Amino acid sequence: MDGQQLAMALRGAYLLFHRASQAQLVQIIEQTAADPDTADVTADQLLLLSVLDSQPEELTQRQLTDQTFSDASTIRAMLVLLEQKGLVSRRADQHDGRARRVSLTAAGRRVVSRLSKQMTPVFNSLAESIPAEHQAPLAAALAAIASNFDRK
């Protein structure tokens, strides 16, 4: 397999998983449309909320950018929307006035709790599609790829 074939295989796997998770999330949101806590949250926003929920303390926007493999402008735009929805709060870092610290609000925690439970089958189907003995080596290979590109 050459580099282009590998790149296309990785891209294809990512896009198929992303589409499946987005479709599942849309279906869940439609089913819970009457629930104002879960209305109008995208898969990418849920990922951001989930990262915040998994941390014991606030994160900087830079840390969120790094942990989600996104770019600063995309993270900032999502945070502005999530802040308007009352799901996150942002404040200036007391040690670095240029940095913003982000945390989940109570409403944000409710959204993560409700939607994450309903997304579990999607994540489980991903895990089940890869033989157990290949999961750790695959995760290590993907981390190596990410690390290589992160240094550039």
Could you give the CA distance from residue 29 to residue 33 in angstroms, rounded to a whole number? 6
> CB neighbours of 48 closer than 8 A, spacing ≥ 6?
64, 68, 75, 78, 79, 82
Confidence of residue 37 (pLDDT cuts 50, 70, 90): low
pLDDT attached to residue 41: 81
* Token duo for residue 144: 């190596």
Please give the residue range of the domain that contains residue 124.
3-150
Question: What global pTM score does this model have?
Answer: 0.75
Residue 150 has pLDDT above 60, yes or no: yes
Residue 151 has pLDDT above 70, yes or no: no
Residue 152 has pLDDT above 90, yes or no: no
Could you give the CA distance from residue 152 to residue 59 in angstroms, rounded to a whole number? 24
pLDDT attached to residue 39: 60
pLDDT in tens, 51-99: 999 998 899 999 999 888 889 999 999 999 999 999 999 998 888 878 8
CATH number at residue 128: 1.10.10.10
Number of domains in the chain: 1
- Give the residue with greater pLDDT, 42 vs 103: 103
Residue 108 has pLDDT above 90, yes or no: yes
